[in-house]
Structure 1
């Protein structure tokens, strides 16, 4: 048995959002590199120690930038799966929710690396979480719809 896959004409929106989401990686790299340089935390240390972070705001800022980047890398793979699968059935809605996720991740990074530290990430985190939830629901629906009929 084979499965024919026809992409909707609007699927290009989803691919464009996927490409935009990948641009967040260099953005995070820049934030982290700047914070590492300012803090003086040498390689190969992934984070400042708790003691360093408690004493030095620049070390804490580095930890926040590093954690924001790590959170992005933890979430990009499921996001891309949700986006690309859900957009097979709902290309415009998938792209819209995907765009909201990208904006939420920018807000998350800016908030986390800003003056509010870890608490600054919350608005972007909520934005990303709820858009991911919508994408997940659409992914399940799109996937079930493509199951063979018995």
Structure 2
């Protein structure tokens, strides 16, 4: 049995949200690179040591920027996958959630780097956006699988 999927015309918004997420990754890279340079943390060190971060505020900020970027990349595959799946049935809602996720990740990174770990709560709503995308993705998958039962 074959399956044909016809994408709605609004699916272009999903591509737009995914592209915005790419630029958020670029923002994270530039932010982390700037803090690395200011802290004078050489490559290939991923983080400043605890001693360096305790003595040097720039090293602490670098660690925060690096952790925010790592958290972003840890969540990226799941968010993109659910965005593309959910977008098949709910293109505008999914694209809106994807754009909101991207925006909240910028706020998360800015808050984390400027105010330490507690500063990340400003953008922590990204978890809600990814949860809703996951639920919409699950429903979309269900609608494709249920006729096969």
TM-score category, normalised to shorter length: over 0.9
- Cα deviation, 1:94-127, whole Å, max 9, x if unaligned, reads 111111111110101111111x1111111212x1
Alignment partners' CA distance in 1, 2:122 and 2:134? 20
List aligned pairs for 1:56-95, cutoff 5 A.
56-95=56-95
In the alignment, which residue of structure 1 is the partner of 2:15? 15
Alignment partners' CA distance in 2, 1:97 and 1:29? 23
Say what the alpha-carbon RMSD is for the aligned residues: 0.9
List aligned pairs for 1:16-35, cutoff 5 A.
16-35=16-35
In the alignment, which residue of structure 1 is the partner of 2:122? 123
Runs of 4+ in 1 over 3 A off after TM superposition: none
In the alignment, which residue of structure 2 is the partner of 1:136? 134
Shift of 1:18: 0.5
Aligned residues, how many? 148
For structure 1, the residue ranges without an aligned partner over 5 or more in a row are: none
